[in-house]
Structure 1
C-alpha cells in the first residue's frame, strides 16, 4: 500500500478527442505527450511529499539547478498495454521500480518505495487512459518515470531537493520498417561503461556517451552500435540501448553476463525465463567479439537478436568492424527463434496468452 497521498488537478484545456484519435492512429515514438504528468518532491526533512497529478507542461528550473551541472539523474522506461476487453495493464512494473531504487543508490538519490512508484504510474494512466491506444500495430502508451536533483546550488554533493516525475507518450512500433534485422557497427574507439562506473544504472549519462558512436554508425549507414568492455576491448556488452542474445545451432541461447557494466534489462530478464518455456537452454556468460564473428561464419551462431522495452525484440543482421562484416540474418529476415520469442512476449503483454509468470499488473 502506497504512503503517498496523490492529488489530482485535471487539465483545464485537454486535447480534443479528435486530435487524440489522430495521434493514436499514427503515434510514432516519443513525439506526442498526454494531458497530465505526475510530480513528487523529496527533501531530507519531509521525505517524499506533495505528490500530484497536474496538467502536462513546462517545468521551471533555476539556472543553478544541480542536475544541469552534475547530471544527478535517473529514469525508467515501460509501457501500458490495452487488452481486448479494454482493460489496461503494465508489464513487470515492480521490476522497473526495483531498478529505479538501485539506480538511485548509485547516483546518491533518495529511493522511492516500489509501492509509491506503482501508485504514481497508476494515477497517471487512470487520468489519461484515453491516450492508451488499441493493440493493433503493437501500439502502447510509453511511460517515462524520472528523478533528478532539483536543488539550486553549485557544489559537488548530493542534492537536498529531488523531484520525481512521470510523463507518458503514445507509441507505435519502435522500428518503422517492422521486424527487420538491424545492422550493427562495433564501437572500437569508444566504450560505454567500466567496472565500478554507472553501467548498471539507468542514467542519462550512459545514453549521452553513446550518442557520438551512434552518430558515427548512422553516418556510415548502420542502424546501431555495439560496445565492447572497457578493459580488454574484446567482450561484447550491449547496444546503445538494448541487450543482446546469441542463438546457437543446438538451440542454446547465450546472453552477456551482468558484470556491473551492463544494464539489467527487464526485457532481458524476462526473455531468459520465457526462452526456457520454449525449450531453450539459456547461458549468461562473457562473449567475445571474435566468438560472434566466428560463430556466424561457421554456422555455430544461427541468430542474433537484441531486446529492450521500446524495441521489444529486434533481429540483428550485419555486424561490421575493422575486421570485416558478417551477417546473421536469414536472407535479410528475422530467424525463427527470434520471431518465436518475440511473439510469445508480445502475446503475453497484450493479453493474448496466459500469464503463467504473473508478470502483468492491471492499472485500469
Structure 2
C-alpha cells in the first residue's frame, strides 16, 4: 500500500475548520473538514467519511491542497467550448441588428432569427441553429420587444433642443411669477378607452397562443389624465368627448389638485382643444406645449400603457357605464400608488432643479 501523503503544515486543523465555515462552496467545505480531521490525527479511512469520498479521492485532494492551499480544494469548472464568433464579429453582429435590415437588400422589414442565421453563416462562416441565434442575441444585450410608434415627420433635433433648453423655456413662461413662488411640473394627455379594446402580452406555455375576449363594438369614452411626478399625484376625468369643454373641465380639476400656494406648469401636446383661445386657463396654471409629433416626451403616454397592461386590456365592456367605471377604477388604483406615478413620470430633462 502506498504511503500516506503528508499535509502541508502552514494551516492548522482550526484554520481549516474556520475556512470551511466561511466558504460558500459546499464541496470545498467538506474537503476542508476531512483534511482538518487528518491534521487532528484521525485515521484517514474515517476522515474520508466526513467528506463523503474514498481514500484515493482524499489522496488526490491532499495533493491539490499541498499545491494550491484552500483554493485548490474548489471545484474546477469546465471552460466549455471556445466561442465560435470572435469579439469583433459579435460587435459587428450587434451593429447589424441595431441598424436593422435594408428592405431592398435583405427582403424583410425586421430581423428574424432565421434571417440572422443565414447572415451569420454567409458573413462569418459559422452555422448556428436558429435557437442558438436567439441565445446569442440575448448574450450581446438584445431582447425581443415591441417597437414604439414613430411619426414619419418627427424631427429628433427639435426634440433634443426642447429638452436641452427646457430650463430656459420654463424661466420664460414664469417671468411674470414672483421668484420665490413654488413650482410644480405636471404632464397631461387623453386616452380613448372603449369596447374595441386592446390585448396585451401574458405568460403562457411555450408553443401555445392563449385567447382573450375581443369586442367588436365601438362604444368608448375618453380619460383625461394629468400627473405631477414629483408629488406622486394625479388628476383625471372620464368624459364622453375630447373637445374644448372637456379640456376646460380637466384644467379646472388640475387647478383644484395643485398644492395650495403653488403654481403649476402643465406640459401637454398641441391638440386643437389644448391650443384653442376659448380655454380659460386657471390662474395657478401655465401651459407649455411640447414639440409636434413628440409623444415620447410626455410620460402620461407611459401611464396609459401601465393602466391598459394592468387593468383595462383583455376584457369586454358591456356598456358605456362599464367603460366609465373601469376607467375611474383604473385611475384611482394608480393614484393609490404615488411611487408608481413618480417612477413612471420623472424625466431628468424636466425635473433638474425641481423638488
Q: Which has the larger radius of gyration?
A: 2
TM-score interval, smaller chain? under 0.3
Q: Which has the higher strand share?
A: 1
TM-score, normalised via structure 1 length:
0.23
Q: Which has the higher contact order (CA 8 A, sep 6+)?
A: 1
TM-score, normalised via structure 2 length:
0.23
